[in-house]
Structure formats: C-alpha cells, structure tokens
Chains A and B, each alone.
Chain A
C-alpha cells in the first residue's frame, strides 16, 4: 500500500468564534475554484428550516396516497354509500383557521419580543396559549364529529366512505396533535428564554400547513363522501 500523506483539516479561525451553523457554506455558497473564500456567503439557513419542508413533503405524499386510494376505491366499486358530513366539521374548520390567525399574531409578537421590542414584552406567550386552546378545541371537535357518526351507525367498517372518513380525519388529527406538541415545546422554550427563532418559524409553518391540509381534506370529503 502506498504511503500515507495526512493533510490535517484546515481551521477556519472565523468559524471558531461563531455559534453552530452560522459559518457553514450552506446551499447558497459557491466558492470559486481559486479558493477565494471572501465571496462565500457567511450564513446558511438553519437546518430546521429545510427540515420542516422535508416533513411537510412527507405528509403531503402520505395524504396524496390516501386521497388517490379514496378516488380509486370509489371509482372501482358499486358499494360506495354517500353520507352527509357532520355539521360540526364546519365549526371545527373555523376554529382551525382562527388558530392559524392567532398563531401568526403570536409569531410576530414573539419575534418582536425576541428582537427586543419592549411594547411586546408583556406575556408574549399569551397568543400561543390561545392557539393551543383552539388546537385542542379542534381535536375535541373532530372527536365530537366521530361521535355524531357513531350515533348514526356509521363505523369504521360500515362502508368504504366511512372508512376513508375515519382514516383521513384521524390521521390529520394525529398530525395536529403533533403540532400541539410543537406549540407546547415553543411555549416551554419561550418560558425559559431559550427559544430559537427557527423553531418558532418551523412550528408556525407546520401549523399553517395543517390548516391548509384540513381545508383540502374537507373539500375532498365534501365532494366524494
């Protein structure tokens, strides 16, 4: 075997003084082949900002699979029975949309608070709590919708339409619960003053996505069931 020539890694002195992630190349960084590092941009986006899109993409694919299954299943059979959606779903929709609005208000307030604006210094978590309560109300409302269906005798296995209703709404509700977990994490971190801006942004993006996803699901269920 040939002799080993070990090149020690070159130390970037700037990098050592900075917190994690701030000095990496990142996806916008293009260094010319002559090694002139001055043209390289210093700040790459934090990993959680692209990770949240990875999560949202996976959820999109999952619901795309469920939706196409619903369309194929409905199109290929004669046993599909339509039913009227429980009316509480529309109230739930309003609650979820409202929670998106309150979250956006709280995101801006917390961001301003983190940016040092004193006018927002009083209980920056207030709107986050309101969002949390609205989110819990939404899940409770979905549960009430399942109870309404059960009272009509529509169970998971009664008909493919009810099967898809339960599967889609339950999967969505589970993801909303995940978002509630994210909100609790943000509130706790805010309480300890260790909240990072990108954690707040990622949670907000996830929550808004849950909102949009629900609007899509409601349209799908309304049209197909």
Chain B
C-alpha cells in the first residue's frame, strides 16, 4: 500500500538511460544543474572577453597571444581593431547579462531549489522545463556561432541601439549576420525564460506542501517567484522587439531605420522608422532585467544570512513586500536610460521620480539586513562572507545610482565609465556574489559533497578586494570624462588616465585568475570533497529535511507537511537552536516568551 502510493505520487518514473537521466532530463534538479553548467561556461567566456578588452585598453598595441585565431580580420597579429573591440564588448555584455546573471541565480538555483523549498516533487510541466533549458542552450550556441561568421559578432553593444541594429552590413562588421544571430539568440532566450516562468509561477502558487502558506515560503523562494513574474512581463516584450529587428534585416521592413539615413556615403533604402521605438521596447525589458538579475540574489543572500545569524530577519514580510515593490517599480523607471535620447524633458522628470522612489525599497532591504546583522553572532563561512560581500557591492553600486537618477547629472555622466562602474557593481558583481554565496551554501545539497572552506575564503577575499580595485576607479574615470565604448584613448585629457586603466587591467587579470580557485574548488569538491550530511548548516527550510543529494522525487515518495515559519532559529528544540519547517515539534520562539 505504502509503496504503491509512493509510486503514484510522482507523475513520471525515474529515467534509466543516460540520455534521459543527464541530457534530456525532466527532473528539475538535473535541469537546474544544466543551467548552472551553462552559466559557468558562459561566465568563463565572458570573463575571457573582458580580459582581452582590458589588456587592449591598457596597452593598445600589445598583441594578445591566440586572439588572431579567434578572428584573423578582427585581430591581425593578435592586436584587435577598434571594431573588434566593440564586437568583444557586445558579446561580453550579452553573454554576462543573459546567460550568466539571469541564468545562474534564477534559472539554475531556482530550478533546483524552488520545488524542494515549496515541498513539491517537481515542477508542474517537466517537459516545458526541459524545453526551457534546451531552448536557452540553443540560444547560447547561436550567439557563440556569430564568432565564426565571416564578419564576426555584432558590434552594437548589448543594448543594440537602433538604427545601427537594423541597417545591415553597412553599419560595420557583424551588423549583418551578426545582428540576426544576436536577435535570434535573444528571442530563443526569451522563449526559454518564458517557459521557465510558466513552471515557476504555478509551482509556487499551486504545488506547495500542506501547511506551506505563502508567508511560510523562504525568502529565496519568494525571490524566485517575484523574478519569474518580472521575467514573464519583460521577456514577452523583448521577444517581439527582436522579431521586428530580424524582419528589418531579412524582410526589408522599416521598423527602426529612419528615412534619409546616409551611412558610409550611401543613402539607405529604409523609410520613416523610429529609432526611439527600439529604445522604448528594449528598456521596458532592460530595466526589469537588472532586477531579474539582482532580486534572486537578494533572496539567496537573505536565506544564507538568516541561517548563519541563527535568527530571522527583523521583518520577513517587509523584505517580501520590498522585493515586490522593486519588481513593480522596475517597470516604471526604464526611461532613465534615455535621458539623453531627446525625450520630452517632462518624460525625464516622470521617469526620474520613480527612479528615486525605487531606492526606498532597496534601502529598506539593506537596513533590514544591517540591523538584523547588528549584534548577531554571524557564523563566518564562505557563503556568509559572499552574502556580506553582496550587501557591500549592492550598497556601493547603488549609491552611485542616486546621482544617475537625476537627469541633470546624468546628462554629464551618461556614457562614461561612471555608469559602467555603477552597473558592474550593483548588478554585475553583486549578482555574481549572490551566485557564489548560493554555490557555497547549496553545493552540499546539489552535489552531495562539501566544498573546501579555506579555498572558499581565499576566493572571497581575492574577489572582494579585486572587484573594488577594478570598479571603484571606474567612477573616477567617468567623472574625469572618460567615455565608455572607446577602444583607445588618444585625446590629451585622457592620457593622464591611462595609468588608472593599467591598474584596473592588472586588478582584472588577478581577480579573474582568482576565479580559477573557485573553479578548482568546484570541480575538486564535486568528485573528491568530503561527503555532505543532510543538513550541514543546521538550517530549517525543506531542502535540508530531505536526503543529500535529494532523491528523484525530492522527498522519497512522501510529501512533507509544514508546521513552522521558515526561519525558526534561536529556539530551544530537540535538534538545537532551530526547528525545521517539517518538524511537528512545538517550540516557543523568543518572541512568544516575551
């Protein structure tokens, strides 16, 4: 009887063949790991590109060994042309934003842990889930394929502004086939993420275990849920925009190219397209995308910190509401990317106001973290260090946002390294620290083995100091007038800044090399790490109450029942100072004792 119902509880049997188990798997945990692997490969590609760019910026004529193999025309003798610099920059941005910062914290960890944290056996639509990964992976392959076309990848920047994105080969190398491949890749990515949302939202709403009310969801689960709602809205707008770009290329339509446009002494055949239209469509996606990258990090970091502080956050609800407010407001601020686009000044004001308002939920989140940390006996380990690093980067990068939110200051700082420093800290490095923190925290559950803590701490300190050495000087460069997207700095006023660029490049090379420590730790621990117990961090949420690594159906044929709020730490129970969500044991919390 027991065995029969256990079998019936899961709607697809465990696979037996290698292909169904590891390649075309329907299991959300395998799909989560596949997303993680994809993000890891993408991050290494993106990092290598940033190295090439940094070396070129610091030493313009230096030959980079091996670069000529990537593109004979783009880097003759290993020295990159200005166009090839832009092509590498575009690919760095696209790979990092889409295939790392969206893929790892949301799709990878979310796929693996959301069903377990809500107490479900799997996502409701495993086939769509599998499709989601493979469509995303195809998107990545299509994007990387543009490296191997005759002209190389597109050079239009990850924002692909019109009309450059739609004029065709006359716009420069990679503006023909490269853009089409870029747009096709991003459209595929959008389909993949929409299929992801299709699973994440019903998982959270409908598949929760008995007793798992919405407010009993861990903060990480909330973050993935909110992010999937954002993704649903954002990617559904970017996809049509990409379709219109592709049509401008292959069907001769004129959606984005204005009339009478002369480029390279040639009058373009297009008529009357709107260049601003692309910016509106892109940034309606683009700004929420920033929060799609960072909100999972907020959830993951809160989850890690609470476990290591051994006490809940000051307010569970306010944190959730703040993440929700970030999601809603993120759709009302996108025009702040377009202050210098020639928009009506009143529009700038209308976008500036919510941009300043969005700092309120961000500040509330940071204050809750800070005051919850105050006086707590934080357990220092690699995961909690990266969580603290996340807060540091989020604040440092966020503060410069106050300046950029104001049109009058933004007009001066727009398209300078100040902006580059701002978004790299607040959404790039911060989100990466969230990914690292999540990896150190959840690796035992995902791989069944512990990671090396000493190497983890070395990795943290090198990354933490390194990231500041790279991105803090960016702000100085920007204020000194150093424009972004230039491959060489030949103006007189930029010459004194070259030593700063060299310092940044050296810091980037060292910080990048430090990531090899992480990579070594990851691979070594995966095969030879100490076997992990079921609940190494003495945590409370459901992922820690199942076996390590979790069985195929997550809970061994029995769905858990939830009796407690997610973060019952600082209590006295038979287990210690915490009581797990799935434990029926009655405990008195500190709050109740008072």
Contacts and interface: CB of A to CB of B under 8 A. Distances in A.
Interface residues of B, number: 80
A171 to B, nearest CB: 8
B94 interface: no
A21 B207 contact: yes
A12 interface: yes
Contact of B535 (A4, A10, A21, A54): A4
Contacts of A15: 9, 210, 558-559, 561
A219 interface: no
A59 B536 CA distance: 44
Contacts of B156: none
The 10 closest A-B pairs by CB, nearest first: A77-B272, A47-B124, A79-B272, A4-B533, A61-B236, A157-B252, A9-B560, A47-B202, A16-B5, A5-B575
Interface stretch (A68-76, A85-93, A113-121, A184-192): A68-76
Contacts of B202: 47-48, 50-51, 54
B243 A167 contact: yes
B546 A24 contact: no
B251 A156 contact: yes
Contacts of A35: 211, 563-564, 584, 586
A40 B253 CA distance: 57
B107 to A, nearest CB: 16
A158 B284 CA distance: 28
A32 B560 CA distance: 17
Interface in A12-44: 12, 15-17, 19-21, 23-27, 29-31, 33-35, 37, 40, 44
B206 A163 contact: no
A72 B11 contact: no
Interface in B371-390: none
Given A20-B9, A47-B202, A55-B198, A10 B561 contact: yes
B255 interface: yes
A9 B545 contact: yes
Interface of B: 2, 5-6, 8-11, 119-120, 124-125, 194, 197-198, 201-203, 205-214, 216, 232-233, 235-237, 239-241, 243-244, 247, 251-255, 259, 271-274, 276-277, 280-281, 284, 450, 533-536, 538, 542, 545-546, 555-556, 558-565, 575-576, 580, 582-584, 586
B240 A37 contact: no
Contacts of B556: 9
Contacts of B253: 156-157, 160, 163
A21 B206 contact: yes
Contacts, number: 225
A9 B236 CA distance: 39
Contacts of B583: 7, 10
Given A27-B206, A35-B211, A79-B259, A2 B538 contact: yes
A215 interface: no
Contact of B277 (A30, A73, A78): A73
B559 A24 contact: yes
Given A5-B575, A10-B560, A73-B273, A62 B5 contact: no
Given A24-B559, A58-B194, A79-B272, A40 B210 contact: yes
Nearest to A26: B206
A153 interface: no
Contacts of B243: 167
Nearest to B533: A4
A9 B207 CA distance: 17
Contacts of B559: 9, 12, 15, 23-24
B201 A51 contact: yes
Contacts of A17: 5
19 contacts: A4-B534, A6-B535, A9-B545, A16-B5, A20-B11, A25-B208, A26-B205, A49-B206, A50-B205, A54-B201, A55-B198, A57-B232, A64-B237, A73-B273, A77-B259, A77-B272, A77-B273, A160-B255, A167-B243
A6 B546 CA distance: 8
A117 B478 CA distance: 75
Given A72-B280, A78-B272, A58 B197 contact: yes
Interface size class of A (residues with CB under 8 A): 35 or more
A178 interface: no
A1 B251 contact: no
Contacts of A23: 210, 559
A46 to B, nearest CB: 7
B206 A33 contact: no
Nearest to B204: A27
Given A51-B198, A62-B239, 6 more contacts: A1-B536, A12-B561, A47-B202, A59-B236, A61-B236, A77-B271
Contacts of A45: 206
A163 B250 CA distance: 13
A160 B590 CA distance: 66
B534 A69 contact: no
A210 to B, nearest CB: 16
A65 interface: yes
B206 A50 contact: yes
B207 A47 contact: yes
A24 B555 contact: no
Contacts of B535: 4-7
Contacts of A66: 240
Contacts of A46: 206
B548 to A, nearest CB: 9
A109 to B, nearest CB: 27
Given A9-B560, A10-B561, A69-B244, A24 B210 contact: yes
B264 to A, nearest CB: 22
Contact of A51 (B10, B125, B216): B125
